[in-house]
Amino acid sequence: MRPWALPPPLLPLLAALQLHGAPQRNVLLLLADDGGFESGAYNNSVIRTPNLDALARRSLVFQNAFTAVSSCSPSRASILTGLPQHQNGMYGLHQDVHHFNSFDGVRSLPLLLRQAHIRTGIIGKKHVGPEAVYPFDFAYTEENSSVLQVGRNITRIKMLVRKFLQSQDERPFFLYVAFHDPHRCGHSQPQYGPFCERFGNGESGMGWIPDWRPQRYSPGDVQVPHFVPDMPAARADLAAQYTTIGRMDQGVGLVLQELRRAGVLNSTLVIYTSDNGIPFPGGRTNLYRSGTAEPLLLSSPAHTGRWGQVSQAVASLLDLTPTILDWFSVPYPTYSIFGRKEVQLTGKSLLPALEREQPWATAFSSQSHHEVTMYYPMRAIQHQQFRLVHNLNYRMPFPIDQDFYVSPTFQDLLNRTRAGQPTHWDKTLHEYYYRQRWELFDCSRDPGERHNVAADPRYAVVFERLRSQLLKWQWDTGDPWVCAPDAVLEEKLSPQCRPLHNEL
């Protein structure tokens, strides 16, 4: 029996109780788009996020939660399947020329919940496919609407949540509200500002979002993360991001108010998190802590004893699928994707942490692409205070994505580097582009992950232990890159990793 699963004899009984008189259980999953720790709940004293702060007071607040991949579509697919990107097939971004999709045989969370007679809904940014793998009963996404309207217009989001709840039948529900805030938009809709912070603010040509009260910030006041250059351009960028986060925060409040009005808030598990790191240097597309650490609030009406408490236990966004299945008492099926090895969830249910603090200490990450041209496969493990990153393509420069490239922060960094001027960054562009194959960081002594100790003999035992753990997870999850970059995977031979003798 998997550690998060309920004993099989209890599953039909619990399902029957839920359908015949026991309090109905629902789930609301709130997802930020490229959001970070810019909230009062995570000790940012500048930004005003009263709704997230209020939710945190009703939640267990995780301090060590990590995404399984620092890229949008792969992260969303991992959240909705419980499988890393290399196992579910969503190797990179889903849309347009990128066109990545999950494998047809993947059993996603919405698919499993539909089969268990739980109503599913999605409002906002979907960014995963194919439809047959990710079916929702109620869907307003970029596939049938403007993503600005269903992902940033919080009045529209409020009304769609109301529509979903008013059309609710006797089934429990899973509602996934995926905000498009605070994702950058300067590359696609530059008229709205670098973070679409002007969209809907009532100015000429910007439209008007009736429920939004825009908050503006001085660049001199923002809190600059250690991995972002502390320069005027980056500060102005962060100030715009804060305004956009404020819109999302007010949207969170509107969504929760709709649940309250419908009388279902006190029967709903509410989860808030983000898909990947913020779109700044060292953030999104990186498997460092700055690119993978995520906010995670878990609010259960059945576990008020831990409301407002902070957990140091390590959590992964791969844990969300088993957590939600556990909440609904839905078992994970026995199946294989390609008719070979049985699929196993490597995540865990987070519900035990709502009872008492847990000793969880490990999280894994896996990345292959962001955009289709951004091939830079990486695998990583966070264990206790240590992080080990394996850069498989380490002899090539680290790639830069389109919307980040045109951002004010990165353009300022490029210009200052070309002119030989100080960047006020914690590394050079050359160091950022060109990395060692193995990077090991002792985050207790080096929280900024600046000093690679992989070759330090004092850390040899730690290095080998983490490398073995990471390799085992790759084998357990059917990682096609498990033998790379210096060997080829031949599954019918023994040993399966056949050396290339390519001087790596």
Residues with catalytic annotation?
Answer: 72
Closest Cα to residue 149, out of 190, 180, 176, 120? Answer: 180
Instruction: State the DSSP H helix or E strand holding residue 92, giving kind and residue range, or none if neither.
Output: none
**CA dihedral for 65, 67, 70, 75, sign (positive or negative):** negative
* DSSP secondary structure string for all residues of 263-299: T-GGGEEEEEEESS--SSTTSTT--SHHHHEEEEEEE
Q: Is 156 helix (H, G, I), strand (E, B) or coil?
A: helix
In the sheet with 438-442, reading across from the earlier edge strand, the strands are 362-367, 378-383, 386-391, 438-442
Instruction: Assess contact for 4 and 348: CB atoms under 8 A.
Output: yes
Show Cβ contacts of residue 226 under 8 Å, excluding neighbours closer than 6 positions: 290, 426, 447, 448
Neighbouring C-beta atoms of residue 467, cutoff 10 Å: 16
Instruction: State the DSSP H helix or E strand holding residue 388, giving kind and residue range, or none if neither.
Output: strand 386-391
Instruction: State the DSSP H helix or E strand holding residue 40, giving kind and residue range, or none if neither.
Output: none
Q: Which residues of 422-446 are buried (b: 16+ CB within 10 A; e: fewer)?
A: ebebbeebeebeebeebbbbbeeee
Cis peptide before 130 (omega within 30 of 0): yes
Which 8-state DSSP code applies to residue 383?
Answer: E
Measure the CA–CA gap between 274 and 75, rounded to whole angstroms. Answer: 9
How deeply is 404 buried, as exposed, middle or buried, from its count of CB atoms within 10 A (0-12, 13-18, 19+)? buried
